[in-house]
A and B are shown apart, each in its own frame.
Chain A
């Protein structure tokens, strides 16, 4: 479980996050949704420590990440996997080397064990034949899957996904979402997904957190998402012509 307690974040006197309180539960897909510029990426970066919070605390299973020393943070980060919006694969390394990278850096296993783990992770995302290819030789969807394989290589307790299906066609986007859900349930991971893909929210949103202009505007799940009665949320959901047409 990850807890965001009264998080505030400002950039040069501009308040980007205002008093955010969220609990991200274990074994569930916890989503952060909102318009571009609403502060969702800043929130996810505050949660993983890429941005320092202006005030407030981030608690990982009763461990206060915000007040940890750099050494303690480094240790905790080995329990975190992250899937970046663009994949963030190391372009000078092959797909296999990308997945092996965290294992080589932190795993105490033998070479054979590491190789087996990397094979398992690639197999898990359906890319066991792509190990020798370079990131620029595979499609965007495959890059995302490699990124997921790399993120789960060290058996993380916490998985963060920043817009995992952005830039992908709907079918591939669904595949990625399904994969993240399967992995979350299979390994009991606390997964935090930053998205503005409505299909993903309706399909997988166990714990949905709607951010509007830096504040937590609404919390709920996929069951009560479409009839929340929240005007701002409804404006966000039904902003596309397609959804306006199917609006109940």
Chain B
């Protein structure tokens, strides 16, 4: 029962957020701030995770594919497929759900408990749209860039590991990256990414917007935001994969 009540509130918040976008004066300024917070500030962690993810994938693939009948370029091929189809869009989105989701939820939650949201409502401003809409737009723009960068960096990390530890030759690795490449896989990954971005921002914003209480409640809402965003990402991942790939 609680789930349906919460889901209903979530949909109402979405309606209110997307119903009428806020006026241009503040929207542009907020969008720039949010692009910086969501996009630029996440670049570092995305780069670090992706490099190590790519390197580990190469090491594990090298360890598992020692049969002389399996060509060595398969390692590069497997790394590319893993990164594009799953690791970059899903794992990086899960990491971002932790970083961005908790930040959004605690920021909006703090605004709620310090009555800043009430102050906006009193002024006759649609607080949901004013606060949440720029975050959604910023995430929808930033995430595809971050995930694309993650794919490239992951492959560079894999290449470095392959060459440094002599797991596979540079030529074989690059050949593997090029073989049987379907550009549609990138589109599939970016579609997933955009949906994950929307889920992370809206679910986190929902938990912050309806927080009741004080600092403790803000902390709890932040944790809930990360947990529910992660569950939503994993569920959506299965559904999107089934719908698009099979």
Mark A residues whose CB is within 8 Å of B. Answer: 48-50, 73-78, 80, 82, 84-86, 88-91, 101-102, 104-106, 160
Q: Is the CB of B116 within 8 A of A90?
A: yes
Scan B1-38; emit 1 where CB is below 8 A from any A CB, else 0: 00000000000000000000001011000000000000
* New A-B contacts (13) at CB < 8 Å, excluding given A88-B118, A106-B124: A49-B121, A50-B122, A75-B124, A77-B123, A82-B122, A84-B119, A85-B115, A86-B114, A88-B116, A89-B116, A102-B123, A104-B26, A105-B23
A194 → B minimal CB distance (Å): 13
Q: Is the CB of B123 within 8 A of A78?
A: yes
Q: Report the separation of the CA atoms of residues A77 and B115 in the bound assembly, to the nearest whole angstrom.
A: 16
Q: Is the CB of B115 within 8 A of A84?
A: yes
Q: Report the separation of the CA atoms of residues A48 and B122 in the bound assembly, to the nearest whole angstrom.
A: 7
Specify which of A77, A88, A105 is in contact with B25 (CB 8 Å cutoff).
Answer: A105
A143 → B minimal CB distance (Å): 11
Q: Report the separation of the CA atoms of residues A30 and B102 in the bound assembly, to the nearest whole angstrom.
A: 42
User: Would you mind naming 14 contact pairs between A and B with Cβ atoms under 8 Å apart?
Assistant: A75-B124, A76-B124, A78-B124, A82-B118, A84-B119, A88-B116, A89-B116, A91-B114, A91-B116, A102-B123, A104-B25, A104-B26, A105-B26, A160-B122
Scan B105-138; emit 1 where CB is below 8 A from any A CB, else 0: 0000000001110110111110000000000000
B interface bracket (residues with beta carbon within 8 Å of A): 10 to 19
Q: Report the separation of the CA atoms of residues A243 and B124 in the bound assembly, to the nearest whole angstrom.
A: 41
- Contact A50:B121 (CB < 8 A) given known A104-B25, A105-B25, A105-B26: yes
Complex interface: chain A residues within 8 A of B125 (CB): 105
Complex interface: chain B residues within 8 A of A106 (CB): 123-124
Specify which of A86, A102, A160 is in contact with B115 (CB 8 Å cutoff).
Answer: A86
Q: Report the separation of the CA atoms of residues A230 and B23 in the bound assembly, to the nearest whole angstrom.
A: 52
Q: Which residue of B lies closest to A160 (CB)?
A: B122
Q: Report the separation of the CA atoms of residues A82 and B123 in the bound assembly, to the nearest whole angstrom.
A: 9
Specify which of A85, A89, A105 is in contact with B123 (CB 8 Å cutoff).
Answer: A105
Q: Report the separation of the CA atoms of residues A189 and B33 in the bound assembly, to the nearest whole angstrom.
A: 37
Q: Which residue of B lies closest to A83 (CB)?
A: B119
Specify which of B23, B114, B122 is in contact with A77 (CB 8 Å cutoff).
Answer: B122
B1 → A minimal CB distance (Å): 14
B125 → A minimal CB distance (Å): 6
Q: Is the CB of B124 within 8 A of A74?
A: yes
Complex interface: chain B residues within 8 A of A75 (CB): 124
Q: Report the separation of the CA atoms of residues A85 and B113 in the bound assembly, to the nearest whole angstrom.
A: 11
Q: Is the CB of B115 within 8 A of A88?
A: yes
Complex interface: chain A residues within 8 A of B118 (CB): 50, 82, 84, 88
Complex interface: chain B residues within 8 A of A78 (CB): 123-124
Q: Report the separation of the CA atoms of residues A104 and B123 in the bound assembly, to the nearest whole angstrom.
A: 12
Complex interface: chain B residues within 8 A of A104 (CB): 25-26
Complex interface: chain A residues within 8 A of B116 (CB): 88-91
Complex interface: chain B residues within 8 A of A102 (CB): 123
Q: Report the separation of the CA atoms of residues A113 and B122 in the bound assembly, to the nearest whole angstrom.
A: 23
Complex interface: chain B residues within 8 A of A101 (CB): 123
Q: Report the separation of the CA atoms of residues A89 and B118 in the bound assembly, to the nearest whole angstrom.
A: 11
B5 → A minimal CB distance (Å): 13
Q: Is the CB of B114 within 8 A of A88?
A: yes
Complex interface: chain B residues within 8 A of A90 (CB): 116, 119
Q: Report the separation of the CA atoms of residues A81 and B116 in the bound assembly, to the nearest whole angstrom.
A: 14
